[in-house]
C-alpha cells in the first residue's frame, strides 16, 4: 500500500523538472507506479548517472569516459575548429545538424549581470587556455601532446541578451589572438529548451556563420 504522502512527494519532484507542469507530473508519477519494474530501472539509471557522469576535463561537456569525452578523443574530428556552446545539451543539437565535425567547448551558461553571472563564473578562462596552448604549441594534457592549434572559434550562443553579451565579451577577449572568431547566423536559438528550430535551420546557421 502506497502512502499518499510518498506519491505526492514523487509528483512534487517530477514537477520540479523543466517543462513539466503539475498535470504532467501527476501523469508521470502514476505511470511509474503502474508500470512493473519501471521504478527499479529508473532508480538504477539515476544512480548510474550520479556515479559515472562527470565533466570532461577539456571541453566540460558531460561524459562517463574516465577523463576526456568521446568528442575530445575522436581523432576524426578537426582539432582546429572549436564550437563554443552555452550548455552541454547544445552539443546534441549541433551534432544533429550534421554539419560540424570539430571540437566543442561548453561555457555552462552565459554572462548575465542581472543574475550576477560574470565571466569568472563560466568556463571562459579554460577556453582562453585552450586557444593559447594551441597557439603556443603547449600541452594541456598529461600525455604531453601539444594542444591543437585552433584556427577558428565558432560562437554558437543563444540570440538573447545574455548570449549577445557573452559574444561581445569573447570577441574582445579573443581579438588579439591569431584566431578567426565567428558567430552562427543571427536569430537562430540553439538552446535546449527552445525546440522549434529544426536541424536543417541550425545547420544553415552554422554554414552561414559570420566573422566578427
Ligand atoms: Zn570533451
CA distance 180 to 32: 50
pLDDT (tens, 9 = 90+) of the chain, 212 residues, equals 555 699 999 999 999 998 999 999 999 999 999 998 999 999 999 999 999 999 999 999 999 998 899 999 999 999 999 999 999 999 998 998 888 999 999 999 999 999 999 999 999 999 999 999 999 888 887 777 888 899 999 999 988 899 999 999 999 999 999 999 999 876 666 664 445 567 778 888 888 888 88
Q: How far is the CA of 83 from the centre of ligand 1 (A)?
A: 12
The alpha-helical segments, DSSP class H, found in 35-112 are: 38-52, 70-73, 88-97
φ and ψ of 81, to 5 deg: -110, 130
Q: Where, residue-wise, is CATH 3.40.1360.10 in the chain?
A: 55-211
Q: How far is the CA of 160 from the centre of ligand 1 (A)?
A: 26
Q: How far is the CA of 105 from the centre of ligand 1 (A)?
A: 7
Q: How far is the CA of 65 from the centre of ligand 1 (A)?
A: 10
Q: How far is the CA of 67 from the centre of ligand 1 (A)?
A: 8
Q: How far is the CA of 76 from the centre of ligand 1 (A)?
A: 14
CA distance 132 to 149: 9
Q: Where, residue-wise, is CATH 1.10.8.420 in the chain?
A: 4-52
CATH of 4-52, one of 3.30.60.50, 3.30.470.10, 3.40.630.30, 1.10.8.420: 1.10.8.420
Task: Tell me the CATH architecture of domain 55-211.
Answer: 3-Layer(aba) Sandwich (3.40)
Amino acid at each position: 500500500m502506497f502512502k499518499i504522502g510518498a506519491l505526492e512527494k514523487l509528483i512534487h519532484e517530477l514537477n520540479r523538472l523543466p517543462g513539466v507542469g503539475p498535470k504532467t507530473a501527476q501523469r508521470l508519477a502514476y505511470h511509474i507506479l503502474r508500470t512493473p519494474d519501471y521504478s527499479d530501472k529508473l532508480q538504477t539509471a539515476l544512480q548510474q548517472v550520479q556515479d559515472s557522469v562527470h565533466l570532461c576535463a577539456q571541453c566540460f561537456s558531460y561524459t562517463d569516459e574516465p577523463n576526456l569525452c568521446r568528442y575530445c578523443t575522436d581523432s576524426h574530428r578537426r582539432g582546429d575548429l572549436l564550437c563554443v556552446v552555452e550548455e552541454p545539451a547544445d552539443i546534441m543539437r549541433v551534432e544533429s545538424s550534421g554539419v560540424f565535425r570539430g571540437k566543442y567547448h561548453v561555457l555552462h551558461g552565459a554572462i548575465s549581470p542581472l543574475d550576477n553571472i560574470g565571466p569568472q563564473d563560466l568556463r571562459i578562462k579554460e577556453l582562453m587556455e585552450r586557444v593559447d596552448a594551441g597557439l603556443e604549441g603547449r600541452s594541456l594534457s598529461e600525455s604531453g601532446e601539444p594542444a591543437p592549434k585552433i584556427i577558428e572559434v565558432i560562437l554558437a550562443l543563444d540570440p538573447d541578451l545574455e548570449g549577445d553579451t557573452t559574444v561581445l565579451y569573447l570577441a574582445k577577449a579573443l581579438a588579439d589572438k591569431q584566431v578567426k572568431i565567428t558567430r552562427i547566423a543571427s536569430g537562430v536559438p540553439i538552446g535546449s529548451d527552445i525546440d522549434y528550430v529544426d536541424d536543417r535551420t541550425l545547420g544553415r546557421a552554422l554554414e552561414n556563420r559570420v566573422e566578427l
